[in-house]
Chains A and B, each alone.
Chain A
């Protein structure tokens, strides 16, 4: 079996005249917690969209477990074990937490479309099995008490947890988190860090974008820093923190201050 490696090579995505991602290459290895950081508008989310099939990059290659996934549709990519969350939470707002998590079981469920019209003993068993998987996720993310609550009536921090639970219900091998700590308070962020470690223990590789620098530096094994769609640095958190190009991107160069 191929290793769970995600390799981006020379990925370029343009929107009209704007090059949002410019010749970007990086490699996420099996079992890593990999971070992508960069100032606002650096193209981080666009990179995620290119990996998960929401956009198709014009050039380059996105390789997952030895297979080219560039140009596949989002659901095909999910089928290969890559699942994401969104920076702006995208839950099925009117539906309950349990139903939201159940959506993650969609691709694992063996039911066919015609089971929606006439159920069979097999489809009913499948239904039950998947609800039990949902129960596992409810327990893992400590969401049991909210199982029947519509998600749009929940506090922000809990919605974030529901979104991660939904993604984990797919049983992914690569989990992509788009700013998982955005809008969380300190206590919730600590809980999130613990959760991410626990997810890694399950053998899931994690790729994340984050603005909370303390958290990124603590949690990631390896980092890529991008600015204006280009990679400006990569390395371990300690290496990146010491890199002058990174400091310049975040704080502005001294030359600019002089002028």
Chain B
């Protein structure tokens, strides 16, 4: 664990910081998407990995953040960065409202309801609700980033914006791990009845997980909307939710696991683009293998991260 914190993580930060200077524009774009998807996958991990709720509708919150940024920027002329607070808060609020009545559902029932929400959301976008979503074509021509009046149009700027968002998310994830709220999510995933019987209001924490997950993914897509300068409904289809669901399953509920999951499920298919028709075959096969060989994910969640003074000499396990 210490190795991870002392060596792997700083190394990762350094590599990611110099990476874009080594890449051509096409791979820079892939790298940006990797960062954004990592953040969204981490937000999915809070709901699916930590709290153990089968949420198959993450693209809804993801898409909502993107549309909020797009509408505020395109229709009302807000600068991109100024839309961030609302792009976080509104999906979080919506997540809480949607989750409230459904979190008592178990496993696959919750999954079906969230798929339903996702489909309704895409339908609403396509039917141009209130004349602001732009219908099936979406919204084109968003501004590029600007900070204190300086336009940051280059792809590099978007990359570092995405990187900053990822670091912020990692910081939040770390805080969550070391707090009462984060542990409560683990407890209710492990055994809900035991969690309630020890004094945890499981309903509140399930809604909290949904709200936080929605908020973080809302933040991520501000970058997404900036990168493409456009949003359209098909980017938030149910199949996108499936992608994030499988990233967390294959990767495992840990930060390195989720990032590996994004790499395997998103970057690897990009590399094998030439084998167009074959890549989903390889992809599916990799998933089956991962599920058989590593049922808890490539890099599963680790526990026992307890203060050092509690670990006596000769302690078993971690």
Asked if A92 meets B187 with Cβ closer than 8 Å, knowing A54-B197, A86-B194, A99-B303, the reply is yes
Interface assignment of A166: CB less than 8 Å from any CB of chain B: yes
Tell me the interface secondary structure of chain B in the complex: helix
A98 nearest CB neighbor, chain B only: B306
Tell which of A74, A117, A119, A147 touches B306, judged by Cβ atoms closer than 8 Å: A147
A166 nearest CB neighbor, chain B only: B198
Q: How far is the CA of A73 from the CA of B202 in the complex (A)?
A: 11
A115 nearest CB neighbor, chain B only: B179
A92 cross-chain contacts in B, Cβ below 8 A:
186-187, 190-191, 194-195
B205 cross-chain contacts in A, Cβ below 8 A:
113
Q: Which of B283-318 contact A (CB under 8 A)?
A: 301, 303-304, 306-307, 309-312, 314-318
B201 and A134 form a contact (CB under 8 A): no
- CB of A114, distance to nearest CB on chain B (Å): 8
Asked if A116 meets B180 with Cβ closer than 8 Å, knowing A99-B303, A103-B200, A106-B199, the reply is yes
Q: How large is the interface on A (under 10, 10 to 19, 20 to 34, 35 or more residues)?
A: 35 or more
Interface assignment of A187: CB less than 8 Å from any CB of chain B: no
B175 and A117 form a contact (CB under 8 A): yes
B304 and A148 form a contact (CB under 8 A): yes
Interface assignment of B193: CB less than 8 Å from any CB of chain A: yes
A148 nearest CB neighbor, chain B only: B304
- CB of B263, distance to nearest CB on chain A (Å): 25
A148 and B181 form a contact (CB under 8 A): no
Q: Provide 6 A-B residue pairs closer than 8 Å at the C-beta atoms, listed in order of the A residue.
A: A75-B201, A90-B197, A96-B318, A99-B183, A118-B175, A170-B198
B172 cross-chain contacts in A, Cβ below 8 A:
117-118
Interface assignment of A258: CB less than 8 Å from any CB of chain B: no
Interface assignment of A177: CB less than 8 Å from any CB of chain B: no
A75 cross-chain contacts in B, Cβ below 8 A:
196, 199-202
A63 cross-chain contacts in B, Cβ below 8 A:
none
Given contacts A144-B310, A148-B315, A149-B316, 20 further A-B contacts (CB under 8 A): A74-B197, A75-B201, A90-B191, A90-B193, A96-B303, A103-B195, A104-B199, A106-B198, A106-B199, A107-B199, A113-B205, A113-B208, A130-B180, A135-B310, A144-B312, A146-B317, A148-B306, A148-B317, A149-B317, A167-B198
Interface assignment of B250: CB less than 8 Å from any CB of chain A: no
- CB of A77, distance to nearest CB on chain B (Å): 9
- CB of A22, distance to nearest CB on chain B (Å): 24
Q: How far is the CA of A206 from the CA of B33 in the complex (A)?
A: 58
Residues of B within 8 A of A (CB): 172, 175-176, 178-184, 186-187, 190-191, 193-202, 204-205, 208, 212, 301, 303-304, 306-307, 309-312, 314-318
Asked if A113 meets B181 with Cβ closer than 8 Å, knowing A94-B301, A99-B304, the reply is yes
Q: How far is the CA of A93 from the CA of B190 in the complex (A)?
A: 7
B310 and A84 form a contact (CB under 8 A): no
Q: How far is the CA of A149 from the CA of B202 in the complex (A)?
A: 25
Which of A86, A147, A166 counts the most chain B CB atoms within 10 A? A147
Q: How far is the CA of A134 from the CA of B181 in the complex (A)?
A: 17
Asked if A127 meets B179 with Cβ closer than 8 Å, knowing A94-B190, A170-B198, the reply is yes
Tell which of A52, A95, A98, A146 touches B186, judged by Cβ atoms closer than 8 Å: A95
B186 nearest CB neighbor, chain A only: A95
Q: Which of A160-175 contact B (CB under 8 A)?
A: 166-167, 170
- CB of B125, distance to nearest CB on chain A (Å): 29
Asked if A115 meets B180 with Cβ closer than 8 Å, knowing A92-B187, A92-B190, A148-B304, the reply is yes
Q: How far is the CA of A124 from the CA of B205 in the complex (A)?
A: 20
Which of A94, A111, A116, A153 counts the most chain B CB atoms within 10 A? A116
B303 and A52 form a contact (CB under 8 A): no
Q: How far is the CA of A67 from the CA of B180 in the complex (A)?
A: 29
B315 and A147 form a contact (CB under 8 A): yes
A104 and B304 form a contact (CB under 8 A): no
Q: How far is the CA of A103 from the CA of B204 in the complex (A)?
A: 16
